[in-house]
Structure 1
Amino acid sequence: MRVASFNVNSVKARLTNLTDWLREAQPDVVCLQELKTIDVDLPEIGDAGYNIVAVGQKTYNGVAILAKESIEVEERRLPGDEADEQARYVQALIGGRLRVASIYLPNGNPIDTDKFSYKLGWMARLRDHAAGLLALEEPTVLAGDYNVCPTDGDVYDPFAFRDDALCQPQSRAALRRIVNLGYTDALMAIDPGPRRYTYWDYQGGALQRNNGLRIDHLLLSPQAADRLLDAGVDKAPRERERPSDHTPVWCKLDI
């Protein structure tokens, strides 16, 4: 089973690019982020051969899971704060045998505002929920745009990003607390080489210069990590016309 995560940066604006990629790459499961729409009834996704479950929000956020097999929805928001209405989490059982969550973690900038404290609080809630999922002892993939560069090796210019929420010590520590529960970073397990980015800004020729960030991650439970066959970054969608500023990260599991 091939599982991918893709921040599309507005699903309607990138719909042609998305469906072209789906038909070419043929992933079995795709977690989308930044849908930026409430209307998630997208027949084009079905025409490409996918079932879809989505949690939308007007203008901002929004997450979805696409799958060729059945989708059994388990969560439509991250547990722990019923007052949080931002569309950042959806979780489902795919084909009755793989649990997948699509995650759009808060950006957190500027760091001297409530946005950063919201980010850290959201990550603490995610850690608590991720611990509960591990207790199920089932194959699980926590996929998405985490808006965290885990190390200086995951950002093209650490000095330039020293005041950015994506690279703050608190953000990195919060991500480590999740991983250290027992999750495996799929891409780093297969290809830990440098400059393996998943995001490039639209400005300044960032893509051509490979001035990027690795902020999209696939975290695998031990039961999924034991079945990991391959992982990588598919740069092709970022090179299309009118692309998202992200590109898919994927893994292949023997499930």
Structure 2
Amino acid sequence: MNIVTWNVNSLKVRQPQVLDWLAEQPATLLGLQELKQTDEAVDRAALDAAGYRILSNGQKTYNGVAWVYPAHWPEPTDVVTDIPEFEDPQRRVIAATFGDLRVINLYVVNGEAVGSEKYRYKLEWLEALARWLAAEAGRYRHRVVVGDFNIAPTDADVHDPEAWHERILCSTPERDALDRILETGLIDAFRLFDQPENAFSWWDYRAANFRRNRGLRIDLILVSDELRDRARACHIDVEPRRWERPSDHAPVVLELDYGAPGS
């Protein structure tokens, strides 16, 4: 099984790219962020024609998350579209269970700037997320959490650590919040394997940042301790970032030794 996370920065614009990518990749379960569409606006017919279904939690213009999964799979269960006991009108969460695999897809708050009101809200959101993920650990042994975390875990995930020092996406409180999430029994799958230096998943559109590889690794796949030994590889597929009108993010792919539900 392959599990993928990809912030597409508008599914309406990039659904053809998603379908092209799925046609060439053995992606099994694809988590999308920043749909920027309501559920009703998603072109489900095109996905159906390609052999996939979509479970979405959409929002007009902003945010929105979804799971794309093979049409022959059983319907997912235990679907959650909000962090429990945390009021947030923004569509940033979709969790579901496929067989005995619990998968959670997140579009974490950006935070705008350190010290801003949006930054404080980001830290509150992450605190609520950690509480929920701790509860999830008590219910599900096999867990995968994916998404655009809007946090670069360490300086190794930043093209210029000095320039980004204590800035948004790289501040100590944000990284501490991510550490608390990992303490719920999760592991950064990308770091289970040897990786090239300067491996990033997001590059600002401005200043030729992609061509210069001035990016950050903020798109993560976290696996529960019980799945650690089943992880076979994890990589960032930069090719879609080279396409015409690309998202500013690239897909991250985890190869997991795990059977499809119902098989």
- The normalised TM-score by structure 1 is 0.95
Match of 1:205 in 2: 208
Q: In structure 1, how many angstroms separate the alpha carbons of the residues matched to 2:85 and 2:56? A: 20
> Could you tell which deviates more after superposition, 113-122 or 192-201?
192-201
Q: In structure 2, how many angstroms separate the alpha carbons of the residues matched to 1:227 and 1:155? A: 28
Shift of the 73–240 alpha-carbon distance from structure 1 to 2, 3 Å rule, reads farther
> Could you tell which deviates more after superposition, 40-49 or 52-61?
40-49
Superposition pairs of residues 52-67 of structure 1, within 5 angstroms = 52-67=54-69
Match of 2:96 in 1: 92
Provide structure 2 residue ranges, at least 5 long, that are not aligned to the other structure.
Answer: 259-263
Shift of 1:192: 4.2
User: Is it true that 1:80 corresponds to 2:85 in the alignment?
Assistant: yes
Match of 1:125 in 2: 128
Q: Indicate which of 195, 200, 215 corresponds to 2:198.
A: 195
- How many residues are matched? 253
Superposition pairs of residues 7-156 of structure 1, within 5 angstroms = 7-38=7-38, 39-68=41-70, 69-70=73-74, 71-81=76-86, 83-94=87-98, 96-156=99-159
Listed one character per residue, the Cα deviations across residues 35-59 of structure 1 (whole Å, up to 9, x for unaligned) are 0111234322222211111011111
Shift of 1:195: 1.0
User: Is it true that 1:220 corresponds to 2:223 in the alignment?
Assistant: yes
- The normalised TM-score by structure 2 is 0.92
SS in 2 for 1:121: helix
Match of 2:184 in 1: 181
Match of 2:232 in 1: 229
Q: In structure 2, how many angstroms separate the alpha carbons of the residues matched to 1:42 and 1:113? A: 38
- 1:89 aligned partner, one-letter code: V
Q: In structure 1, how many angstroms separate the alpha carbons of the residues matched to 2:78 and 2:69? A: 12
Shift of 1:137: 4.3
Shift of the 99–18 alpha-carbon distance from structure 1 to 2, 3 Å rule, reads same
SS in 1 for 2:245: coil
Q: In structure 2, how many angstroms separate the alpha carbons of the residues matched to 1:251 and 1:62? A: 22
Identity of aligned residues (%): 40
Q: In structure 2, how many angstroms separate the alpha carbons of the residues matched to 1:226 and 1:74? A: 27
Q: In structure 1, how many angstroms separate the alpha carbons of the residues matched to 2:22 and 2:78? A: 22
Shift of 1:181: 2.5
Shift of the 157–40 alpha-carbon distance from structure 1 to 2, 3 Å rule, reads same
Shift of 1:162: 2.7
- 2:146 aligned partner, one-letter code: A
